[in-house]
Amino acid sequence: MTDFHLRHGTEVAQALRERRPVVALESTIVSHGLPRPDNLRVAREIEQAVRDAGAVPATIGMVSGELVVGLDDAELTRLATAENVTKLSVRDLAVAAATGADGATTVAATSAVAARAGIGVFATGGLGGVHREAAQTFDESADLVTLARTPIAVVCAGVKSILDVGATLERLETLGVAVVGYRTRRFPGFFITDSGFDLDWSVDSPELIADALAAREAHGVHHGGLVVANPLPVDEQLDLDLHDRTLAEGLARLERDGVSGKAVTPYLLSHFHSATEGASLAVNVRIILRNADLAARIAVAAATRRDSATA
């Protein structure tokens, strides 16, 4: 393969030409984040949630070394069912393309590719962040640095409580990444509605978020991302006692089993899934569907605002 340009799916290419609202979606949740066979069904549901709210879904991934913005259903099925799908962050994209890999894009890679493709809104489950043992390991997700230099709005449910939430918020501030709560002044903790940390800003409508994106572009001063923290309603979160007990057990097992570095997150997520008997997985699915809906409404509001300004 010698042509390494981005390829746009047919539906996405037409939507971008017609300046219709488009929402980027990651593929890591399909290949690595959800168990089979539920992963493919949920991936289709996520795309449908975007369509139901008036936007076009653009699931991003790599197929045989080709970086695709808007996987079709056959490509989505391939990444959901193949055995050797590589997890791709931004730094991996060029090498993966050169070697003809099948790959699923992380939050960092999806954000960067979406921005390059002219897509301004991205829906995911949760951001990566600073790990609890980062003072010793320096383990910090590439999501944070990528968002510092990528002008995209990322709708998420905060970061998973297995991470160091406070340190993650400090790093986002240092890196210049704006964080707003959607109808809240508290940062969500993914499985739970409130992580225990305050936010400086809250917005109460997709239109206001679209205004913030327009202001960023008009100012030409800030070129980083906007994190839109969208918490689950309290009655949809993971039971708090179950969450706290499962987290404490998981952290104790980490120490007992000597798990460290990159193995920590999958270890803890696997523990959550088994210890909660699938309840955490159900919460995970609720989160991404709600975020896809909000991201689509933001994209629609941004498109409406742009069309009104140019009319």
Report CA-CA distances (Å) from 76 to 31, 59, 117, 286. Answer: 9, 8, 19, 20
Alpha-carbon 15 to chain mean position:
22
87 catalytic? Reply is no
Q: State the burial class of residue 241 (Cβ atoms within 10 Å of its Cβ: 0-12, 13-18, 19+).
A: exposed
What is the rounded CA–CA span in Å between residue 300 and residue 198? 28
How is residue 191 annotated by DSSP? T
160 catalytic? Reply is yes
List the catalytic residue out of 18, 45, 160, 207. Answer: 160
Query: Do the beta carbons of residue 190 and residue 235 sit within 8 Å?
Result: no
Strand stretches in the chain, DSSP E: 7-8, 22-25, 56-63, 66-69, 86-88, 103-105, 121-123, 153-156, 178-182, 186-189, 192-198, 202-203, 226-229
Query: If DSSP codes are grouped into helix, strand and coil, which group holds residue 186?
Result: strand
Backbone torsions φ then ψ of 185, nearest 5 degrees = -110, 15
Beta-strand relationship, 202-203 and 7-8: unpaired
List the catalytic residue out of 11, 26, 45, 173. Answer: 26
**Catalytic amino acids?**
26, 160
